[in-house]
Structure 1
Amino acid sequence: MTLVLASRAEGVATLSLNRPDRGNALGPELVEALEEAFDRAVGHGARLVVLRGEGRHFCTGFDLTDLEALSDGDLLLRAVRIEQLLQRIHAAPVTTLAVATGRTFGAGADLFAACDRRVATPGASFAFPGPAFGLVFGTARLAAMVGRDRAREILLAGREVTAEAAAMAGLATAVLGEEAIPAEIARAAAAAARLDPETVAALHRRTGPAAGRAEEDADLAALVRSAARPGLRQRILDYRAQVAARRRG
């Protein structure tokens, strides 16, 4: 299976996560494929990179289908690799646009938040469940986007956020039906073509969390410290059991 479907037209590269049977959850192979496809798109001169998901959902977070076979160290490495990918996308010398459909959860919500333009379709929902099992993930990016107090509210409560609420908070830049998305991509492409890649990269550096690399390094360090706490795998198992119990009840 091709894990990332890629197409390009007139300076716009569209990359679609292609594991709909797993909700496009981010397993190691998909992370590597997305990183390679993204770098290829940038290297071939794309000025706008659009991220989408095949099937119902944009991305439902970590792929934990093999959780029982993983060690805490395996999980830590997976988290670090995803954060490195998100930082790469966030600081890239191109404009990025993500389209969220269905569930956009966990690392998927962080992938959405790493992009410049963030379109949510009606019925999309967002959640950041990582804190429920002790992961501190992408917090500086989220806080820079929606503000400290709103970021704390979203992360501490752990509730699902609707597309409309995401737009009000600043997590989404627009809520659009599928029929309006091509026009939005065309507008983003026209704006992206105005600036050269060096300028885009410089703007991303200066408008990122705390306008610098130090905050990204601090985010990565916070993630590693949180993931390195003993018992990560068991905390995730406990969290999944709690979610399953709530759904049954």
Structure 2
Amino acid sequence: MSLVLASRADGVATLSLNRPERGNALGPDLVEALGEAFERAVAHGARLLVLRGEGRHFCTGFDLTDLESLSDGDLLLRVVRIEALLQRIHAAPVTTLAVATGRTFGAGADLFAVCDRRIAAAGASFAFPGPAFGLVLGTARLAALVGRDRAREVLLSGREMTAEAAVMAGLATAVLPPEDIAPEIARAAAEAARLDPATVAALHRRTTQAEDDADLAALVRSAARPGLKQRILDYRAQVAARRKG
């Protein structure tokens, strides 16, 4: 089974995360598959890149199903590779559009946030739980998107946001019912066809406020603190306890 379903039509490349049984969580194999599919789409001349998730959720964050067998070093490498992928998509020479459905959490919310257009399907929800276990991922990009104070509020509280709240914050650019998503993608495709890849890449460079090297350094420092695995285990136990309660 392909981890990323890819299709191309009329200059639009659609990449769908295809691990619905795990909420499309980002494990190393899915990260690698998405990176390869992204590069192929760009190389084959896509003018609009659409990111979606198969099943109920867009992406529920890190895939930690094998957490018990991982070391702190394994986890560090995983989050660095996710950040590298996020930076590549953020600087893409094509227009990017993400469609969030269901839960869009953690690294999944960061994947959503790096895209130019960010459609929240009605009923979608968003959260950035990484700080709860000491990870600093994509925070400068989020602050550039929603403002410093709102970013701090979202990250420090860890609260879940509705689709409507995400639009008000600037995280999402629209909240739409399912039947309106395809027409919106068609409009985005028509607009994306106006500009050549070199121009899109230049516009992305000149309108990016986050600093990639600084973001990567902050992530590595946070992930390199001793005890990352235990912090994640503790966080997972706390979440499970809240759900039981």
TM over 0.5: yes
Match of 1:174 in 2: 174
Q: How far is 1:192 from its partner? A: 0.6
Q: Read off the aligned partner of 1:54 and give its amino acid letter.
A: E
State the alpha-carbon separation in 2 of the partners of residues 58 and 177 from structure 1. Answer: 15
State the alpha-carbon separation in 1 of the partners of residues 77 and 209 from structure 2. Answer: 23
Match of 2:235 in 1: 239
Match of 1:83 in 2: 83
State the alpha-carbon separation in 1 of the partners of residues 92 and 122 from structure 2. Answer: 28
State the alpha-carbon separation in 2 of the partners of residues 45 and 91 from structure 1. Answer: 16
State the alpha-carbon separation in 2 of the partners of residues 56 and 3 from structure 1. Answer: 16
State the alpha-carbon separation in 1 of the partners of residues 227 and 127 from structure 2. Answer: 23
In the alignment, does 2:49 pair up with 1:53?
A: no
State the alpha-carbon separation in 1 of the partners of residues 168 and 107 from structure 2. Answer: 21
Per-residue Cα deviation, 1:9-57 (whole angstroms, up to 9, x for no partner): 0000000000000000000000000000000000000000000000000
Unpaired runs of 5+ residues, structure 1, are none
Match of 1:137 in 2: 137
Match of 1:94 in 2: 94
Q: How far is 1:78 from its partner? A: 0.3
In the alignment, does 2:23 pair up with 1:27?
A: no
Match of 1:116 in 2: 116
Match of 2:225 in 1: 229
Per-residue Cα deviation, 1:59-110 (whole angstroms, up to 9, x for no partner): 0000000000000000000000000000000001000000000000000000
- What SS does structure 2 have at the residue aligned with 1:190? helix
State the alpha-carbon separation in 1 of the partners of residues 9 and 139 from structure 2. Answer: 34
Per-residue Cα deviation, 1:172-209 (whole angstroms, up to 9, x for no partner): 00001110011110111111111110110011011112
Instruction: Find runs of 4+ consecutive structure 1 residues off by over 2 angstroms.
Output: none
Unpaired runs of 5+ residues, structure 2, are none
Contact 1:209 1:216 in 2 (8 A): no
Match of 1:192 in 2: 192
What is the number of residues matched between the two proteins? 245
Q: How far is 1:241 from its partner? A: 0.3
Match of 2:212 in 1: 216
Q: How far is 1:145 from its partner? A: 0.4
Q: Aligned residues: percent identity?
A: 87
**Normalising by the residue count of structure 1, what TM-score does the alignment of the two structures yield?**
0.98
State the alpha-carbon separation in 2 of the partners of residues 208 and 177 from structure 1. Answer: 30
Match of 1:201 in 2: 201
Per-residue Cα deviation, 1:92-135 (whole angstroms, up to 9, x for no partner): 10000000000000000000001000000111000000000000
Match of 2:104 in 1: 104
State the alpha-carbon separation in 2 of the partners of residues 176 and 7 from structure 1. Answer: 23
State the alpha-carbon separation in 2 of the partners of residues 181 and 137 from structure 1. Answer: 29
Q: How far is 1:223 from its partner? A: 0.1
- What SS does structure 2 have at the residue aligned with 1:51? strand
Alignment of 1:6-21 (within 5 A): 6-21=6-21
**Normalising by the residue count of structure 2, what TM-score does the alignment of the two structures yield?**
0.99
Q: Read off the aligned partner of 1:228 and give its amino acid letter.
A: A
State the alpha-carbon separation in 1 of the partners of residues 216 and 208 from structure 2. Answer: 14
Q: Read off the aligned partner of 2:191 and give its amino acid letter.
A: A
State the alpha-carbon separation in 2 of the partners of residues 81 and 209 from structure 1. Answer: 21
